[in-house]
Amino acid sequence: MQPQGYVLLVLHAHLPYLRHPEDPDALELHWLYQAITECYLPLLEVMERLEAEGVPFPLTLSLSPTLIAMLADPLLQQRYEEHLERLIALCDREVARTARHGPIHATAQYYQHLLRRRRRQWHRYQGDLLGAWAGLWQRGRIELITTAATHGLLPLLAAEPAAVRAQLRVGLQAFQRAFGHRPPGIWLPECGYYPGLEAELGRLGLRYCFLETHALLAAEPAPPHGVHAPVEVGSGVAAFARDPECSRQVWSSREGYPGDFAYREYYRDVGFDLRPEELKPCLHPEGHRIATGLKYYRITGPTDQKEPYDPAAGLQTADRHAGHFLWCRERQVEYLAPRLGRPPAVLAPFDAELFGHWWFEGPAWLEMLARKAHFDTRIWAFTTPSRYLAQHPPTHGAQPPLSTWGDGGYCDYWCNGENHWVWRHLHRQSARMAALAARYAGAPADSPTGRMLRQAGRELLLAQGSDWPFILRSGTQVEYARRRLLTHLGHFHHLARALEQGEGPPEWLPEAEAAACCFPDLDPAVFA
């Protein structure tokens, strides 16, 4: 029986570019380590297990170019493996330490088995997670897409159109370099859209993008199908919009599934509970405490009083929530299909790191949902944007307004009292880069001028990442974000000044190239 409607599950995996060859103990590298251990490896395990058992689960996964560069980096692969070994050693010590602590000891043993399984999985891939994702794509199990080069917020970069073009084109080139061909669609950073962006997307051959709910609800003319069918926004680009009900159920820590009291508590970690001597070998050389991922307590309630975490109870709760999500989508599709006159497209987009990192049981929830959708329902089915568009192309056109999925729905979170100073520098330096790219067009890539121009482009792209103003506003790791911004802008300024004055490369250029070695085939012409 043909499904009456479809759910498009889209996960966006992104981290800002982190390398720090000069400091193997940089605390921020743990952002990558935690994401690999708690999110990317579990998601791969789920997808491969479903494939082996013949359960279809057509997931769409967006991998940002900065994340692609880090996952392909031999230095970071080696450092991650060393980190995993240290974590396993700590876990082994925890199993011995908690021998007399009943439920906590059982949870420590659970982590011990889990981390050893992650090590076997990592070794089976030989550290090549991109190859594992590519294999799933080639076998038709998932659809891979990407985003702008360094996740630059395009509506705020649009004051210099060349900056938007460079972000998009370099991002697509990085994806093509990693996977052999370009993606069919794109995840706009922070779902940031502005009128006119579709022309650049169309020129690059992109067929679809994703927007926040109000972007379609406020579009002109109003789409007759609301957010439950894609619309043609121009230049052959279709836009899907987020379904608000799915978002509340899965995303919200208060109203949604992740806040259930049976689930693992994210913030209570042995990295902050144990004495320093008990944390070795995972204690930072300077004594800084860091989250280890070994967490023994469940959410329990809104107070600081926490009860021991029971992994089996967490999985039972995930199973119940998967069943609830399935039932809700059935009722939603039953209601929408006859009223729309076409199979509705229910878009459920999320940050990939929600599943496993923030919501520990998230990957298990996805696996249970895939099984239930396959065996227990015929009303709706999972699909990818490309498959949906092939069967049900847009029947209406509309012009959405400027929008993001950030707090407030526009750009306030990235341009406010804490971070507005960033943008005047980015706009000014983008104009300088465009002039330099035109002036030195045709400079050989391996010449001193070519090297300086390429590195200036990398530094500018890295400064444009939306992560830095976001962190400045959120108040977490503010000094790191400020330092990264000033470093990239400073490197760009000195390289640009040397090029403008006809000087040779500075002595620190090789060091800067080693620290920011992403986009090795960057063509400065994209900035012109």
- Sheet of 231-234: strands edge to edge? 208-211, 237-241, 231-234
Quick one: tokens of 334? Answer: 């039953």
Check pLDDT > 90 for residue 408. yes
Set 160, 190, 330, 459: catalytic member: 190
pLDDT higher than 80, residue 253 = no
* Statement: residue 281 has pLDDT above 90: no
Q: Please, which pLDDT band fits residue 351 given cuts at 50, 70 and 90? A: very high
Residue 135 has a pLDDT of 98
Can you give the pLDDT at residue 286?
84
The torsion region of residue 280 among left (phi > 0), alpha (psi -120 to 50) and beta comes to: beta
* Residue 521: predicted pLDDT: 92
What CA–CA distance (Å, rounded) separates 385 from 239?
A: 10
- Residues 6 or more apart whose CB falls under 8 angstroms from that of 420 comprise none
Structure confidence at residue 149 (pLDDT)? 98
Cα separation, 118 vs 124, in Å, equals: 10
- Scored b (16 or more CB within 10 A) or e, 124-145 reads ebebebbebbbbbbeeebbbbb
Q: 225-239, 270-284, 295-309, 419-433: which has the minimum mean pLDDT?
A: 270-284
Given this model, what pLDDT does residue 285 score?
86
Residue with tokens 């992560």: 467
Helices (H), 263-384: 270-273, 276-279, 311-340, 362-376
10 Å CB burial of residue 168 (0-12, 13-18, 19+) is buried
Q: Which residues contact 382 (CB under 8 A, 6 or more apart)?
A: 6, 7, 8, 9, 56, 57, 58, 59, 370, 373
Q: What is the pLDDT of residues 8-44, one digit of tens each?
A: 999 999 999 999 999 999 999 999 999 999 999 999 9
pLDDT for residue 195 = 98
Interval 203-234: pLDDT, tens: 999 999 999 999 999 999 999 999 999 999 99
Express each pLDDT in 58-91 by its tens digit.
Answer: 999 999 999 999 999 999 999 999 999 999 999 9
* Residue 121: Cβ within 10 Å count: 16
Tokens in use for 363?
């990957």
- Kindly report the pTM of this predicted structure: 0.97
Amino acid code (one letter) for 464: Q
Question: Could you state, in order of their start, the residue ranges of all structural domains in the chain?
Answer: 5-146+183-391, 415-527
**Length of the chain in residues, anyone?**
528
Examine the residue annotation and report whether 376 is marked as an active-site residue of this protein. no
CB 139 within 8 A of CB 59: no
Rounded CA-CA distance 456/166 in Å is 13
Residue 102, pLDDT > 90, answer no
pLDDT tens string 294-307: 999 999 999 999 99
Show the tokens assigned to 101. 């602590």
DSSP state of 176: H
* Residue 474: strand, helix, or coil: helix
**Topology given in CATH for the domain delimited by 415-527:** immunoglobulin/albumin-binding domain-like (1.20.1430)
Residue 1 has pLDDT above 80, yes or no: no
pLDDT, greater one: 442 or 316: 316
Report helix angle 421-439 to 478-500, nearest 10: 30
Q: Is the pLDDT of residue 4 over 90?
A: yes
Closest among 469, 467, 451 to 516, alpha carbons compared: 451
Return the CATH number of the domain spanning residue range 5-146+183-391: 3.20.110.10
Spatial separation of the C-alpha atoms in residues 527 and 507, rounded to whole Å: 25
351 is an active site residue:
yes
The rounded distance, in Å, linking the Cα atoms of 379 and 331 is: 9
Please spell the DSSP secondary structure of 53-84, one letter per residue: TT----EEEEE-HHHHHHHT-HHHHHHHHHHH
Candidates 28, 51, 351, 523; catalytic one: 351
Has residue 147 got a pLDDT over 90?
yes
**Residue range 388-397: mean pLDDT, rounded:** 97
Q: What is the pLDDT, as a whole number, of residue 492? A: 98
Residue % of the chain over a pLDDT of 90: 94
Q: What percentage of the chain exceeds 70 in pLDDT?
A: 100
pLDDT at residue number 83? 97
